[in-house]
Structure 1
Amino acid sequence: MTAKQPICTPLHHPLYQTTGDYSGDCLGISVLMEIDRAEIERVLAPTPFEFVAPYAWIEAYVYTTITGLAEYDETFGDYYGSTGVVLPVRYGDHVGGYYAHCFKNKDFGTAPGREAMGFPIKYATLKFQKTGRVVTSTAERSTARMNLSVILGESSAPATPPDEAVRNPHLLIQAIPEVERDEVMLQQIIKRDVSSSSSLKAVCGEPAVEFLPTEAGIDELAWLKGGKAVYGEYFSGLFRGSFGEVLHTSASPTLLRRLNAGAGGR
């Protein structure tokens, strides 16, 4: 009998089961911020993505149940959660949401999201709570701290976000580093659309964002502080993962030489 090959690095020490075929019950909030164009263009400068609109989505969600992702049933500790900042961008003919920041609190979600899909994931302590009409979320690490909140049933903002504030599908950069020098060995641009695979319903509310001082003295989210919260929503339902689609691949000359040498040796 042939053993099923694990999906992780290294192969002999499994961490997660899949990069896309998982699902769970999900609760979350999204806050749309209006941001100065210059700040967004500065964030996009090292990427292949183009500016679309002066907005940034800050979203936070937790899975109250999750199956198919971890190699075990995760029923203890804080709910598996994620917090991120998503920018409307363009890549060629594709328009979507680029994940500029992403924070997670469980390793079985961090590994496939970062190494396989290209989410820029860092570890953070994440909290999420819904009490009556008030939904709050916190994210805290040494280089980023913020509080999000949405009050349901109260909003001076429009009932729907602007059309140009695109957030799906996600546009991601998977970059695998070289081990012999500081350069990128392999880079892929990935499109991933969980909005079409999930069944989430949203209710609008009054949004608020609070950015707090960081311990490290470095604040990854400082560029957002001059923004204005213009729309908020609470969403819930079934979140189902999806596999990605590779839009572009580039390889370093070093990698190509290795591949050619290996092909010639067979």
Structure 2
Amino acid sequence: MDEAKAGSEQGYRVQSGNNMPIQAPLIPDPFVPYHCPHNANLMVVCRTDKAVLEKYLAPTPFEAIDDRYVVYASDFSRCDKTPFMDTGIIVPVRWGKRTGGYFLFEYENNDSAIAAGRDLWGYPKKYAEILFEESEAAVRSRTVRKGETIMELRCNLTRPAEFEPVVTTPHLNIHIQPGPDGRILNKRIIERDTSPDFALESECKAMAEVSLRGLSSDPLHELQPQEVLGASFVVGHFHATEENGWGRTVVEL
């Protein structure tokens, strides 16, 4: 039985109607828990002038704690709730006594995943076409937005690399809800960390290459690294559980 026929026979099952349209929500409701076996992640550690990172953090409550940052690509194509690919740039930051990872840019190829991340937790997700390929010797990813390639990652798994890890968790997001009058309805910092439930299968540190190109709305070229220290290619079972899959409001801004 196909999905459409099953839906018509069973009727719509809306548990809380927390997103639109309430009779057929864009975001699977509830979105958590969800799981993704063989979740492959390429995390490229880069270095730039810290002033570049500070410029992007200036409108936020966060401060840069490193001159390094991460350009990444993740394969969530086996996700049970909504399959998607995910790429972006994460900067290690401090807010008060907390440290974590702040997403400067993020891209996905599924509108349900984009809406879930933006509406529920404040991830700055935008739509892009994303390629992710892995083999025994290499991993590569390409992100295309509005017909232009804005991010390319390549990792040679046969060339080992050594580098210190970069702070990327917990995620510290600025969640903004616009009001119907064009003003900000409310704004908060949300903390989210699914890493305790990630079941690691394999990890490899290797040499990598990064190419970032900008659009007027997505100036990634300003974050083209001065140095690429290497990449961590991590594969495992991703779990967004009831305990850690949801976000938590830290403070209202």
Output the TM-score relative to the length of structure 1.
0.81
Structure-2 change in CA distance of 1:10 and 1:92 (3 Å): farther
**Cα distance, 1:130 vs. partner?**
1.1
Structure-2 change in CA distance of 1:116 and 1:144 (3 Å): farther
Q: Which amino acid aligns with 2:237?
A: L
Q: 1:23 aligned to 2:28?
A: no
Find the aligned partners of 1:59 and 1:5 in 2 and give their Cα distance. Answer: 34
Identical-pair percentage: 27
Which structure's CA Rg is the greater one?
1
Aligned length: 233
**CA deviation vs aligned residue, 1:109-156 (integer Å, no higher than 9, x gap):** 11110111100000000000013311000111037611101111313x
- 8 Å CA contact retained: 1:35, 1:55: yes
**Cα distance, 1:19 vs. partner?**
3.9
**Cα distance, 1:217 vs. partner?**
5.3
**CA deviation vs aligned residue, 1:42-78 (integer Å, no higher than 9, x gap):** 01011111111111101101124111x24xxx6xxxx
**Cα distance, 1:82 vs. partner?**
0.2
Runs of 4+ in structure 1 deviating by more than 3 angstroms, as ranges, are: 216-219
Gaps of 5+ in 1: 75-79, 251-266
Q: Which amino acid aligns with 1:188?
A: R
Structure-2 change in CA distance of 1:204 and 1:194 (3 Å): same
Find the aligned partners of 2:14 and 2:50 in 1 and give their Cα distance. Answer: 52
Q: Which amino acid aligns with 1:235?
A: V
Find the aligned partners of 2:29 and 2:232 in 1 and give their Cα distance. Answer: 31
- 8 Å CA contact retained: 2:77, 2:85: no
Q: Which moved more, 1:102-111 or 1:19-28?
A: 19-28
SS at 2:115's partner residue? helix
Output the TM-score relative to the length of structure 2.
0.85
Q: 1:146 aligned to 2:159?
A: no
Find the aligned partners of 1:81 and 1:219 in 2 and give their Cα distance. Answer: 18
**CA deviation vs aligned residue, 1:210-257 (integer Å, no higher than 9, x gap):** 234x5x55542022124311121211111112111110013xxxxxxx
What value does the CA root-mean-square deviation take over the aligned residues?
A: 1.9
Find the aligned partners of 1:122 and 1:229 in 2 and give their Cα distance. Answer: 25
Corresponding residue number in structure 2 for 1:235:
234
Find the aligned partners of 1:226 and 1:65 in 2 and give their Cα distance. Answer: 31
1:162 aligned to which of 155, 161, 164: 164
Q: Which amino acid aligns with 1:97?
A: G
Corresponding residue number in structure 2 for 1:257:
none
Q: Which amino acid aligns with 2:227?
A: K
Corresponding residue number in structure 1 for 2:6:
none
Describe how 1:165-176 pairs up with structure 2 within 5 A: 165-176=166-177
Corresponding residue number in structure 1 for 2:107:
103
**Cα distance, 1:31 vs. partner?**
0.3
Describe how 1:59-78 pairs up with structure 2 within 5 A: 59-67=72-80, 69-70=81-82
- 8 Å CA contact retained: 1:144, 1:221: no
**Cα distance, 1:10 vs. partner?**
3.7
Describe how 1:201-240 pairs up with structure 2 within 5 A: 201-212=202-213, 216=215, 219-240=218-239
Q: Which amino acid aligns with 1:18?
A: P
- 8 Å CA contact retained: 1:153, 1:204: no
Corresponding residue number in structure 2 for 1:12:
23
Find the aligned partners of 1:218 and 1:227 in 2 and give their Cα distance. Answer: 22
- 8 Å CA contact retained: 2:15, 2:29: no
